[in-house]
Amino acid sequence: MLRRLCAWCGKELKPKPGPDGITHSICPTCHGKILADLSPATGEGPPSNSDPQSN
């Protein structure tokens, strides 16, 4: 089982089937924060980006 951890907050994400190991990814929460961080603060509202995730 390949464990996936968020590299930002350390939250454990859904593991992927596969060889044992740990990989780092990013959770939706941190992903949103980083996107907001990258966006220039122009006083506009938060970007309404929907993440279509096939679950």
Q: Encoding tokens for residue 53?
A: 């995730």
Q: Which stretch binds Zn ion (CB under 5 A): 4-12, 16-24, 40-48?
A: 4-12
CB 15 within 8 A of CB 1: yes
- Residue with smaller CB distance to Zn ion, 42 or 55: 55
Stretch 30-49: interaction string toward Zn ion, x if CB under 5 A? x-------------------
Contact (CB, 8 A) for 31 and 12: no
User: Does the footprint of Zn ion cover residue 6 (CB under 5 A)?
Assistant: yes
Note whether 22 and 16 are within 8 A (CB).
Answer: no
Binding residues for Zn ion (CB under 5 A): 6, 8-9, 11, 27, 30
